[in-house]
Structure 1
Amino acid sequence: MEYLYESAPRSYEDFASGRVLHNARGTTSFPVRLASELAQRCFHILEQKGAEGPYTLYDPCCGGAYLLTVIGLLHGRRLGRIIGSDIQPDVLQIAGKNLSLLRKEGLEQRAEQIKSLYEQYGKPSHRDALQSAARLKELIAESAVEEAACFQLDITDPKGALDRARGTHIVMTDLPYGDLVSWGGGSEDPVGRFFEQIHPTLDPARSVVAVISDKGQKLKHDRFRRLQHMKIGKRQAAIFEPLGE
């Protein structure tokens, strides 16, 4: 994969899971460089469509909201709403904590927690985390994010209510890997159901969908046009635009 926006090497250690951002057990962290690259590709496509920000970003398989939080920290000035959903209620507690870091108050509260740990144990890792928190605070100084929230939903369930996701400009998600059990729902075609469910929430003239998955999943749907496709190690990523009725 050729990086168009994150082409210059740099450190992403401030975003390490468990450092300032909270770690959700059983979930994997998403590569920060790839997250930023995909977000900026989506911004560019929307701008070409004439859709100006701030944008609404939605991840329907958010897990601990690591992906959403990283994008919010790096590109908050271009985002107005960040929302996530997941079928697993336990990870949503972590998701809420991570999304709170997109607000000044939430990040300051997290810094106080880390400071308390450093004063109690004096570990270099806590000192480094405090420094990271200070740098992240600078990142959100110009943020346009007014809402960052998450809710429980099975994106493969046709009865699921997606009212909170209507008006979304960017859907970005790292699809569950492996067999059907990984999705947690009962759909025989979870990827197809994912596309079906998100389509009504999108305006074809003002939205884009970025999907990341393992290479074993077929990323296509009749109601979406694929604009870009990339291979990244064992992963693949594709960017789509929804088609009108």
Structure 2
Amino acid sequence: MAYRYATERADHSDLASGCVLRSAPGRPGFPVRLAGELFQRAAAHAGQGPIALWDPCCGSGHLVTAVGLLHRDRLSRILATDTDDAAVGLAARNLDLLTSEGLAARERELRADAERFGRPSFLDRAAAARRLSGRLAAMGGDLPCAVRTGDAFAPEPPGRVDVVLTDVPYGDLSHWSGRLPEGDPVSALLRSLAAVLPGGAVIAVTARTRKVPVPAGVAALERMRAGNRAAVLVRAGDLHG
């Protein structure tokens, strides 16, 4: 089934990459509203109970950190992996913002930078960090997270995972790496991830393309379009074999 993305009216500017969440050249952020929409759709297919979430191509970690701050009350843990050590380091700093101490430290850092560089805009960002801290506390407090180096084409067993949510590399901003197979990398990615997941897990993949491919004979749970991005949701069990 295919869906067009419906824009929410909620203001998610506090979650924009480079505001409180850290960014770096070549580490693109992800549309926050779309992240929330995809997570909620995938979680609905995954069933009841707290969701263990994994991003196997995490880059800066912006996608799963934003989801964590939007939907802490639906989550039990987050795992983020990437082949690039620099990306993993940045993702670890962003996922630290899913703790009260991490957000408090970020607020202090932004206030100090505002004074050091004479930048009032940093005070606005510090205020955003405080608002996010209040939001996190209201939804259940610190969220357990793990970040490590890993190859999505040859993944280690990730422990319990209910939902995979990832934005695959594209264009000049990010590139595939690891044990890249011949043929379509997205279909290969789906197969390799499914091999280490339980059958009921849901994999949601987005890409800057008109349609995200899936292996032949596999039926998508849902498809979505949002601007220049497309997304597909598939069940891991449908990819087994």
Does TM-score exceed 0.5, indicating one fold? yes
1:174 aligned to which of 153, 157, 167: 167
What amino acid is the match of 1:36? Answer: G
For these two proteins, the number of residue pairs brought into alignment is 233
C-alpha change, 1:46 and 1:211, in structure 2 (3 Å) is same
* Cα contact 1:24–1:63 (8 A) shared by 2: no
What SS does the aligned partner of 2:70 have?
Answer: helix
Give the CA RMSD over aligned residues.
2.1
Shift of 1:25: 2.1
What amino acid is the match of 1:55? Answer: I
Match status 1:89 vs 2:68: no
How far apart are the structure 2 equivalents of 1:19 and 1:134? 12
Q: Which residue pairs with 2:191 in the alignment?
A: 196
Q: Which residue pairs with 1:123 in the alignment?
A: 119
Alignment of 1:8-27 (within 5 A): 8-27=8-27
Match status 1:151 vs 2:145: no
Q: Which residue pairs with 1:214 in the alignment?
A: 208
How far apart are the structure 2 equivalents of 1:239 and 1:231? 12
Q: Which residue pairs with 2:40 in the alignment?
A: 40
Alignment of 1:23-102 (within 5 A): 23-47=23-47, 52-102=48-98
How far apart are the structure 2 equivalents of 1:3 and 1:215? 15
What SS does the aligned partner of 2:207 have?
Answer: strand
What SS does the aligned partner of 2:24 have?
Answer: coil
Match status 1:183 vs 2:173: no
Per-residue CA deviations over 1:83-140 (Å, capped at 9, x if unaligned) read 1111111111110000000011111111111111122233221111011011100111
Shift of 1:194: 1.1
1:225 aligned to which of 219, 225, 228: 219
* Cα contact 1:59–1:172 (8 A) shared by 2: yes
* Cα contact 2:169–2:207 (8 A) shared by 1: yes
C-alpha change, 1:122 and 1:53, in structure 2 (3 Å) is farther
What amino acid is the match of 1:34? Answer: L
* Cα contact 2:98–2:143 (8 A) shared by 1: no
How far apart are the structure 2 equivalents of 1:144 and 1:169? 21
Structure 1: stretches of 5+ with no match in the other structure: none
How far apart are the structure 2 equivalents of 1:144 and 1:120? 31
* Cα contact 1:80–1:145 (8 A) shared by 2: no
What amino acid is the match of 1:215? Answer: T
* Cα contact 1:155–1:193 (8 A) shared by 2: no
What amino acid is the match of 2:164? Answer: V
Shift of 1:55: 1.1
Shift of 1:2: 3.6
How far apart are the structure 1 equivalents of 2:167 and 2:8? 24
* Cα contact 1:229–1:239 (8 A) shared by 2: yes
How far apart are the structure 1 equivalents of 2:67 and 2:193? 20
What amino acid is the match of 1:114? Answer: L
How far apart are the structure 2 equivalents of 1:110 and 1:166? 30
Q: Please, what TM-score do these two structures have when normalized by structure 2?
A: 0.88
